Structure 1
Amino acid sequence: MKPERTPPPSDAALAELAAAGVRVLISSEPDIMAASRQARLLAERLGFSRSAAYHVATATSELANNLLTHAGGGRLSANLLDERFGSGRLGLELLAEDEGPGIADPALALTEGYSTGRGLGCGLPGVKRLMDDFSLEPRPGGGTRVWAVKWR
């Protein structure tokens, strides 16, 4: 059975979605749920399959939870990546940024089962698995930037 997919949006709808995107300041648990829901809805409006939209929602939830748990909060955005006139792809980009203490060992943070908190240590490795492109960048002076993309 083929996964359910909404029809691709028109050029006008894509322009509207690109301008709107999703931007959530993560400072409490309800913000995590809001970011996840908004990212899933954006993925659905962009014509992603139901399972791909839920991959985006799960990755968003994990990134937002990490912002709150490990950095005391931060910013999360979900944006349209329109490469239809280049590679022909349409994607949804997640960007999580914080001003927290940073990640001392990014390679270790991406190791399944490793956690600096009370979690299971599958968050960042899970985001990397769920999304098509992924990068983790500790920033000089503190803070972290995580970028992930799901392509349609």
Structure 2
Amino acid sequence: MPAEIRVPIEREEDVVIARQKGRELGAEIGFSNTDRTIIALAISEIARNIISYARRGEIVMCRIDDGVRLGISIVAEDEGPGIPDIELAMRDGYSTAKSLGVGLPGTKRIMDEFALTSVVGKGTTVKMKRWLR
């Protein structure tokens, strides 16, 4: 298994590729089909945000092991305009028409760990983890 899987995100097809690679990695780690679907949903949401707001970016996925449990780490980075109001972006109901409607707050809820950092004019990074139950 590669140390990390990198998927450039520039067009809609890349969202599908990233989601599929996330499902495959989830299967290799041992996640249930339900958990693999949750992982794919989270990847879709952040990848579509990259396309909608930043035009291009990258998603990096890898297996993680903290010595007690196994999981998946997903990091999405872009060099887009950044998010001027993170608090607003993290509010339920704040979403764009192109998204699956989960939005950033929903993505945070379905993952075990979620961190968003953004600098206006520099870009946005979303770091997420899901641990094997």
SS of the residue corresponding to residue 46 of structure 2 reads: helix
Q: Does 1:92 align with 2:92?
A: no
Deviation by residue 1:11-34 (Cα, 9 ceiling, x = unmatched) = xxxxx34x2x32100011100000
Q: How many residues align?
A: 131
Cα distance in 2 for residues equivalent to 1:57 and 1:22: 14
Task: List gaps (5 residues or longer) in structure 2.
Answer: none
> Does 24-33 or 122-131 show the bigger shift?
122-131
Task: List gaps (5 residues or longer) in structure 1.
Answer: 1-15
Aligned to 1:106: 86
Residue 82 of structure 1, aligned match among 57, 65, 68: 65
Cα drift, residue 141 of structure 1: 4.1
Answer yes or no: is the 8 Å Cα contact 1:35–1:60 preserved in 2: yes
SS of the residue corresponding to residue 59 of structure 2 reads: strand
Aligned to 1:118: 97
SS of the residue corresponding to residue 58 of structure 1 reads: helix
Residue 69 of structure 1, aligned match among 52, 67, 83: 52
Greater relative contact order (CA < 8 Å, ≥ 6 in sequence): 2
Answer yes or no: is the 8 Å Cα contact 1:139–1:145 preserved in 2: no
Cα distance in 2 for residues equivalent to 1:51 and 1:122: 16
Deviation by residue 1:93-120 (Cα, 9 ceiling, x = unmatched) = 11000000000111110111113x4346
Cα drift, residue 122 of structure 1: 3.3
Cα drift, residue 57 of structure 1: 0.6
Aligned to 2:117: 137
Cα distance in 2 for residues equivalent to 1:112 and 1:75: 25
SS of the residue corresponding to residue 74 of structure 2 reads: strand
Larger radius of gyration: 1
Cα distance in 2 for residues equivalent to 1:40 and 1:122: 18
Q: Percent identity?
A: 41
